[in-house]
Structure 1
Amino acid sequence: MPVITMREALNQAMHEEMERDENVFLMGEEVGHYQGAYKLSQGLLQRFSERRVIDTPIAEMGFAGVGIGAAMVGLRPIIEFMSFNFSLVAIDQIINNAAKIYQMSAGQFHIPMVFRGPSGPAVQVSSQHSQSLESFYAHVPGLRVVLPSTAYDAKGLLKSAIRDDNPVVFMENETLYSSQSDVPEEEYLIPLGQGDVKREGQHVTLVAWSQPVHVCLDAAEVLSEQMGIEAEVVDPRTLRPLDERIITDSVRKTGRCVIVEVGWPKAGFGAEVAYRVQRECMDYLDAPVERVTSDDVPMPYARNLELEVQPQVKDVVAAVKKVLYLE
């Protein structure tokens, strides 16, 4: 089975879906001649022409709105934001139009489209380019919200997102674009709303999505090697719809839960997960649910401060010790 990067996996997903369905097209800043700000659309312009790979001005609200109109008449646009921080410019289109038109039209108009691009902190891009906005979009009925953590997941989830008849917010982490995993050559889909256990364990459940999944996997190795604690790492992969069962089944097995996210603590999506865990697993919990988040501050530019603000392995290990009453 080939080992490829997440960048290559996402490119393959778009290429295959554009080959499969002529109604699929890509639109965004620098997606065509420059082949994507992060080279995710490499080769697509040459294969599909400017009719289906469309370079836009720096006008997120404008091209998001054009995409919504195209979806209303049966096309399947992929709208690329150079950064999800810039999606805030288009948030009125995403929330007030894309998410609501199906209901407001009494089902006459589906909005089969994907808003995708990098989300969350990268490396020293400062506060306006480092935000994790998944809790903003997961709050909104009518949207689906997807955050892959591996190349395998990214390809299977993006293909499903493109085929979905609802607007999908597909948030990739820039620091994972070069991460590698096994990706089969044959076609596969990962259903939206289906989580994955990334590591089996019996003593504590770690719930994370996107880049923090890898922090949890590293922390699980440290816990196993140094303390004999076997942590189970659960990746919901999509926040809306949320695979609640895969999380609660794990917590019922381990009796303890730590939720790790790179977003801010106030009203972060981890708070929603914690609520559902206590509601469904109260009789199984041997300790209160713990959350590990970024600090409640805008992202600093200095690298040492940037790392300190975000969840690190040491923070996850400390939270696990807390729920196991080891400190």
Structure 2
Amino acid sequence: MATQNMVQAINDGLRHEMRRDPRVVVLGEDVGKVGGVFRVTAGLYDEFGDERVIDTPLSEGGIIGCAIGMALYGLVPVPEIQFSDFIFPAYDQIVSELAKMRFRSGGEYAAKVVIRTPVGGGIRGGLYHSQSPEALFIHVAGLKVVCPSTPEDAKGLLLASIRDPDPVLFFEPKRIYRAAKGDVPEGEHLVEIGKARTVREGKHVTLIAWGAMVYEAIAAADEAEKQGVSCEILDLRTLWPVDIEAIVASVKKTGRVVIVHEAPKTCGFGAELVALVNEKAFLYLEAPPIRVTGFDTPFPYTLENEYLPLAHRILPAVLETARF
């Protein structure tokens, strides 16, 4: 085991897969000599050279289009989009081409592409560097969506994503790039896609979160415990396919659920989770599900901590549903 932060764990995962499989290539803006804007790819250029660690022009559509072509010719590209806010010029390539390649070819061609990109707020990035666009990709058939909250899961899920036969959106919560630290297994380490992690067992309320919001859920649960409310915390880790079995099992135990995410509330992934809970566990609910989310506005700069669903906003929702 080695103690690493999330940046180090992802770098370790990329290096491991590039050594294991010569088909794996990394491409994106400044990923080579610079090592990426957050230094996640630092050192890879020196070890693997410019044929496997490729600095690209500033063209997200070009980056993803190039990655799709590489995948169809047998490579395993791992493109980086510098911030998830910049992914929209590539949206057509992702949803119209990448997501549909297996279906449109009758299963003859699969596009093994893992798109890495930092998501979320917490770094004073303002409206163009702080968004959480996961729901836009979960809605698209053919894509898998991953968002780890710990260094160990970041490495394990990255290895699993690179080896998965289908395209994966790998969202990295940049607020905890260096703040989240933990023991990470050296060498081979995989975490199964589609399995949630129970962060904490509890009796009264199920708290569902992912990415950086897992830590806010933990902080809110600590305060709720002082008031006699026991929270079970689920870290989804994989947003799609979602581990509905784990969610239902927890809701059956607690009868109450609070969902936390940074993205705006309207049509956010929390709405789909509420629908799934109602379909699969309605008779076990003791209170209406509650969502604690970002607001239906562009992401602010000076009011960032008011926008984010931090612990001080989660706690009242927990207490409200517990006392319903």
| TM-score, length basis structure 2 | 0.98
Instruction: Show the counterpart of 2:216.
Output: 215
Amino acid at match of 1:306: E
Corresponding residue of 2:311: 313
1:45 aligns with 2:36: no
1:243 aligns with 2:243: yes
Q: Secondary structure at the match of 2:92?
A: helix
Match for 1:59: what amino acid?
S
**Could you tell me which residue of structure 2 aligns to residue 75 of structure 1?**
75
One-letter amino acid matched to 1:181 = G
Report deviation, 1:73: 1.1
> Once the 2 structures are TM-superposed, how far is the Cα of residue 256 of structure 1 from its aligned partner?
0.6
* Deviation of 1:280 (Å): 1.2
SS of 2:284's equivalent in the other structure is coil
Matching residue's letter, 1:86? F
Query: Deviations 1:235-271 (Å, cap 9, x if unpaired)?
Result: 1111111110111100100111000000101100000
Q: How many angstroms apart in 2 are the aligned matches of 1:52 and 1:276?
A: 42
2:198 corresponds in structure 1 to: 197
Establish whether residue 149 from structure 1 lines up as the match of residue 149 from structure 2: yes
Cα distance between partner residues in 2 of 1:301 and 1:242: 31
Which sections of structure 2, spanning at least 5 residues, go unmatched?
Answer: none
Q: Which amino acid aligns with 1:285?
A: L
Contact 2:145 2:169 in 1 (8 A): yes
2: CA distance, partners of 1:300 / 1:317 = 22
User: Given residue 325 of structure 1, which amino acid in structure 2 is its aligned partner?
Assistant: R
CA RMSD of aligned residues (A): 0.9
Aligned to 1:180: 181
- Relative to structure 2, which stretch is displaced further, 25-34 or 124-133? 124-133
Match of 1:7 in 2: 7
Aligned to 2:114: 114
In the alignment of these two chains, the number of paired residues is: 323
Aligned residues of 1:292 and 1:315 also touching (Cα < 8 A): yes
Pairs within 5 Å for 1:85-96:
85-96=85-96
Q: Is the CA contact 2:18–2:24 (under 8 Å) kept in the aligned structure 1? A: yes
1:228 Cα deviation (Å)? Answer: 2.3
Amino acid aligned to 2:211: S
Distance 2:187 2:105 in 1: 38
Give the match for residue 296 of structure 1: 296
Q: Post-superposition shift, 1:2? A: 2.2
> Is the partner of 1:259 in helix, strand or coil?
strand
What is the match of residue 278 of structure 2?
Answer: 278
In the alignment, residue 164 of structure 1 is paired with which amino acid?
D
Q: Can you give the 5+ residue segments of structure 1 that lack an aligned partner in the other structure?
A: none
Question: Counterpart in 1 of 2:233?
Answer: 233
Output the CA distance in 1 between the equivalents of 2:89 and 2:10.
24
Q: Which amino acid aligns with 1:203?
A: H
